[in-house]
C-alpha cells in the first residue's frame, strides 16, 4: 500500500471514529420522546453517514486486498 493510500485510509478511519463518538454521545444525552426535532434529524443523518462511511471503508479495504492479490499474481505470470 502506498503512503498516499495509508494516509487516505487513516483519514477515513478518523471520520468514522469521530462519527461514532458523536453518535454515542447523542445516544447518551437524548431521552426518547424528549428530543428536539432538529437533534433527532441530526442524529438520523449521523447514523446514515456512519454506516455509509463504514461501508465505504470496508469496500476500500476489499479493493486494496484485491489489488494486492492481482499484483502478486502478475509477478508469477
DSSP string, 7-67: HHHHHHHHHHHHHHHHHHHHHHH--TTT--HHHHHHHHHHHHHHHHHHHHHHHHHHHHHHH
Residue 4 to residue 57: CA distance in whole angstroms: 15
* Confidence at residue 65, expressed as pLDDT on a 0 to 100 scale: 84
Question: 26, 18, 20: which is closest to 43 by C-alpha?
Answer: 26
- Render pLDDT for 20-57 as a digit per residue (tens, 0 to 9): 787 777 777 777 777 788 877 887 887 888 788 888 88
> Taking 80 as the threshold, does the pLDDT of residue 2 lie above it?
no
In the chain, domain spans: 3-75
Mean pLDDT of the chain: 79
* Confidence at residue 72, expressed as pLDDT on a 0 to 100 scale: 81
Amino acid at each position: 500500500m502506498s503512503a498516499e493510500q495509508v494516509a487516505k485510509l487513516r483519514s477515513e478511519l478518523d471520520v468514522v471514529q469521530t462519527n461514532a463518538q458523536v453518535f454515542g454521545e447523542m445516544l447518551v444525552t437524548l431521552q426518547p420522546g424528549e428530543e428536539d426535532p432538529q437533534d433527532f434529524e441530526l442524529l438520523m443523518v449521523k447514523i446514515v453517514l456512519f454506516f455509509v462511511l463504514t461501508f465505504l471503508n470496508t469496500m476500500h479495504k476489499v479493493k486494496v486486498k484485491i489489488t494486492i492479490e492481482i499484483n502478486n499474481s502478475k509477478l508469477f505470470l
